[in-house]
Amino acid sequence: MLKKILNGKSNSITSAAILLGLASLASRFLGMLRDRILAGQLGAGDELDIYYAAFRIPDLIFNIVVLGALSAGFIPIFAGLLAIDKEKEAWRATNVVLNFILVLLLLVCFILIILSPEIINLIVPGFDREKKDLTVALTRIMFLSPLFLALSSVTGGILQSFRRFFFYAMAPVMYNIGIIIGAVFFVKWWGLYGLAWGVVLGALLHFLIQLPSAIRLGFRYQWIWDLKNAELRKIIKMMVPRTLTLLVSQFNLIIITIIASTLAIGSLAIFNLANNLQNLPLGLFAFSFAVASFPALSALSSRKKMPEFAKRLSLITRQILFLMIPASVLMIVLRAQIVRVVLGSGKFSWEDTVLTLETLQFFALSLFAQGLIPLFARAFWATHNTKTPFAIASIGMLVNLAGCLILPSYISPWTGEPFGVTGLAIAFSLASIVNAGLLFILISQKMKQFNKKEIFVSLTKISLASIIAGLFAYQTLYLIAPLVNMRTFIGVLIQGFLAGSAGILIYLLLMWIFKSKELILFKNALRRRIFKTKIRTVEVVKE
């Protein structure tokens, strides 16, 4: 039974997404524990600002160099070769791509380590000299992490293509464990440098957890340097616009980092902590479906089965909306309880709590859009079209840039004070909604079989049920408050848990009354996840 869970294939996109979601829940729980430790030990101040600023450039390099090639090109090519029984060519292409990425990363990281002082001056102009110097030192240590994450991304692409999702899903768990080890132990020995070494350890564990499974599937490392390899050339061709798309996304975060460094001390930390909290439902639901669907969509595209492709895409869109809209409503209703339970300890003050929950509520408004963007982008990548997502992301970046320049100093109609860091979250959400909306319009125009009517019918039911569930959860907060000690962690946790549970139960009841197809599909997939059936490699199974 254990072997079946660890090495078994997923028999549908939804069941694979459930597995990824459960692993993501574990990873996000550890991520919340990580943030609680960081917030409690350091507070939303200078040290946490330095940590998040130092993280930005190594993370940017990983995203544009590694993910630019692998997420857009490697899986469609590798899965496509497996689908037409060219396994030998698939393994050769794997080694060619891996060696190309590693050499490119080594060169890029070496150059950026030298240029780190100049780069840090650009991205945190509001930091004083001492903060900048420490940021540079942490950044240079963290440049080791993209190398391990590159190795991990290749092994992860192999596992996804074979639909072996367990160890792939566990990799982020190991990553967070590494960072927690750094926060709990390394910091005691090396101070703030310990956080940087924790990130490096997490990246190494991210790779090591996936390697044995990839080897069992047939991966054997070979030094093959073949720039004329047909598959590599296809990936590079697809990589350029995809890398530009990711660069646009990362540029959004750099803009936010630049402006946050000029706001009140702790603004960068507040933004990142709130962003991490909203990423819980995104990682648990939306990203899980997007990742699980990519190999199947790529295989359908390779086989020229575009009507089935459009039908599958419509179905996954509705599943994401079914999960993300109620998550958005409940996160807004329970924002204070979420922030206090996860972060409210040690040096994390009440003022920090208020700023974080205000920032979180504006993030939550765009959860549905943030959830759809990775799915829609992968739909284009699966058809080897990486230019369209780049063009749309560029428009979103301009919206984010305009918002970041205007909104932080704009006077809030609710408080009578400037929005500050919450203005950055508003700008981010507006850009996400524009991005998702434009992608939806273009997909609808491109694929006539993409059932817009069915999506809008489902959206109406989901939105109505979510609003009613949110009202029930809100009322439950007030019913529970007199019954518990709201000055204690346990009291706030009980209040939030019961109110959230009430909202979820009402939502599920209403969707059952509405005869929601998404609810039935999710329930059936949950059963399939428990009682597995065998399928062939890269097989596309009907829901």
User: What's the average model confidence in pLDDT over 97-102?
Assistant: 86
Do 389 and 443 form a contact (C-beta atoms < 8 A)? no
Range in 65-79, 217-231, 296-310 the model is least confident about: 65-79
pLDDT exceeds 70 at position 537: no
42-70 pLDDT, tens digit per residue, is: 777 778 888 888 888 888 887 776 665 56
424-449 pLDDT, tens digit per residue, is: 999 999 999 999 999 999 988 888 77
Structure tokens at 29: 């729980």
User: What's the average model confidence in pLDDT over 493-522?
Assistant: 92
Range in 33-47, 327-341, 526-540 the model is least confident about: 526-540
Those residues whose C-beta lies under 8 Å from the C-beta of residue 309, and which sit 6 or more positions away, are 297, 300, 301, 379, 382, 383, 447
* Cα three-residue angle 34-39-44, rounded to 5 degrees: 140
Do 352 and 44 form a contact (C-beta atoms < 8 A)? yes
User: What's the average model confidence in pLDDT over 198-217?
Assistant: 91
pLDDT exceeds 70 at position 234: yes
Range in 59-73, 177-191, 203-217 the model is least confident about: 59-73
Q: Which of 432, 468, 428 is nearest to 257 (CA)?
A: 428
User: What's the average model confidence in pLDDT over 192-205?
Assistant: 92
pLDDT for 469 equals: 96
459-497 pLDDT, tens digit per residue, is: 999 999 999 999 999 999 999 999 988 888 899 999 999
Q: What's the DSSP call for residue 122?
A: H
The domain ranges of the chain are 46-237
* Cα three-residue angle 239-241-243, rounded to 5 degrees: 60
pLDDT for 23 equals: 67
| pTM of the complete model beyond 0.85 | no
Whether the CA torsion 434, 436, 440, 446 is positive or negative: it is positive
